[in-house]
Structure 1
Amino acid sequence: MAQIPLTPPACLSQKESCEIISELVDLREQVTELSELVHTDTLTGLSNFRYFIQALEQEMERTRRTGYATGLIMMDLDFFKKVNDDWGHDVGNQALVLASTLIKAAVRKMDAPCRYGGEEFAIILPSTDRHNSMLVAERVREMVATTPLVFDDNELLLTASFGIDIYTGLEAGGAEEMVKRADSYLYQAKEAGRNRVCVAPAVEKEDTSSVNQDEKDALFGLFGRAGNTND
């Protein structure tokens, strides 16, 4: 976004210059605030879906350039429809706000927690491998499961299920495909009983130092017989 210049024309008086600068500062602050609102979910204060897609694509590109993996956690509150049905949508909204508060408390400043839609959340973890992505998801899962939602003298314990995918630069597709993979592990967590984390299997790098059988035979012919004193 283009910056608004703060230097007034030289022909203006000092008073007029100060007034214009003040107006420009106010205008810049309003533009910044509007820009943040465009990318923010109004209920939870997390980044919204529009920002999420842009940020994920940027981190995947960073991975391709640097080689540092990007972790993606997809999180879904368990039995959320029952919460709405039993307690009403206002309590459901309070549950979403509580979950978002716990997510923000559990991640780093460099991470990007987002509301993906409905009761589903996404957390982008820059420069984070499989092991550390699992640690983050487990931390959020435990916080959700042990922090009751308190309302009208009631306490409601929530749980959430998690799916994790890791982008190392070797996987096919872009942001949409990565989300689909993480969602598939989320569904695995749901089917396995909920309140758990499922993660993509570790990617084993191809061992480029290995040799095929023909190469082994050739090496044996060159070196194996040299040590055979019977020849």
Structure 2
Amino acid sequence: MDSLPLAPDSSSLCCPCGAKCQFMDELLNLRSEVNDLRHQVQTDALTGLYNFRFFSNILPLEMERTRRAAQPLSLIILDIDNFKQFNDRWGHELGNQALVHVSQLIAQTIRKLDFACRFGGEEFAIVLPNTDLYQAINVAERLRFAIDSSPLETGNDLIPLTASVGVDEFKSTHTDNPQGFIERVDAWLYQAKKLGRNLVKGPVVSPVDTNTNVTADEKEALFGVFKKPDA
């Protein structure tokens, strides 16, 4: 997340008379507090991902960028399957652990330029700038597989988790507003749930139809081995 520009060291800042400014320490503390508040406003306290407020701001901005630059934009909405039953059986504390676990898997799978957000409850939204539908479906499948193959470890138990995923693309020629785009993706998520869960659903797409020039770094980020974030 963006931070305010770093202020110069307080020891180097003096009043015109040459004495250290008596208000500089207070100014630096205020800057730090503002940065902390900005982080809190944009971040979900439980998972550490961006929150719904941030998502509601970033999606229109990325859609406008797509209209202006004619670059593809994709959106994934992911929902943990049968989460109510999970909470009923294992309790809300383990439910929170499951949300954190899935959030970590999402953060490990996506690129640094993507935006992973807690959409609400057990739903997550991932905004994928400069990503066409074919690439986004591959990312969605990676997310689904990562969750399916990584049960939640708690004591001596390994609790399986799965997720259903909807995905679609926004192009510069589309006329959707943000809510319309979300509803398109949510409809695909509903299809994944209806067809049995633990599925990725989106428009049918062929690799031939989406053959775009992708840099080596982007290919590695999308299809290669994803590195975990630094501890």
Query: Normalising by the residue count of structure 2, what TM-score does the alignment of the two structures yield?
Result: 0.81
Residue 57 of structure 1 aligns with an amino acid whose one-letter code is P
Residue 53 of structure 1 aligns with an amino acid whose one-letter code is S
Structure 1 segment 39-58 matched on structure 2, within 5 A: 39-58=42-61
Amino-acid identity (%):
42
Partner of 1:163 in structure 2? 166
CA displacement, residues 169-221 of structure 1 (integer Å, 9 cap, x when unaligned):
2222211111000000000001111111001345989xxxxxxxxxxxxxxxx
Does residue 1:66 correspond to 2:69, yes or no? yes
Give the unaligned 5+ runs of structure 2: 211-231
TM-aligned CA distance change 1:155 to 1:5, over 3 Å? closer
TM-aligned CA distance change 1:99 to 1:21, over 3 Å? same
Shift of 1:4: 9.8
Q: 2:49 and 2:55 mapped to 1: Cα distance?
A: 10
Contact 1:4 1:24 in 2 (8 A): no
CA displacement, residues 142-164 of structure 1 (integer Å, 9 cap, x when unaligned):
11001110113211010000001
Residue 133 of structure 2 aligns with an amino acid whose one-letter code is R
Give the SS at the match of 1:195.
coil
Q: 2:114 and 2:179 mapped to 1: Cα distance?
A: 19
Shift of 1:25: 2.2
CA RMSD of aligned residues (A): 2.4
Q: 2:19 aligns with which of 5, 14, 19?
A: 14
Q: 1:123 aligns with which of 121, 126, 129?
A: 126
Shift of 1:27: 1.5
TM-aligned CA distance change 1:23 to 1:150, over 3 Å? same
Partner of 2:198 in structure 1? 195
Give the unaligned 5+ runs of structure 1: 206-231
Aligned residue pairs, count: 203
Contact 1:189 1:198 in 2 (8 A): yes
Contact 1:74 1:164 in 2 (8 A): yes
Give the SS at the match of 1:194.
coil
Query: Normalising by the residue count of structure 1, what TM-score does the alignment of the two structures yield?
Result: 0.81
Q: 2:205 and 2:104 mapped to 1: Cα distance?
A: 30
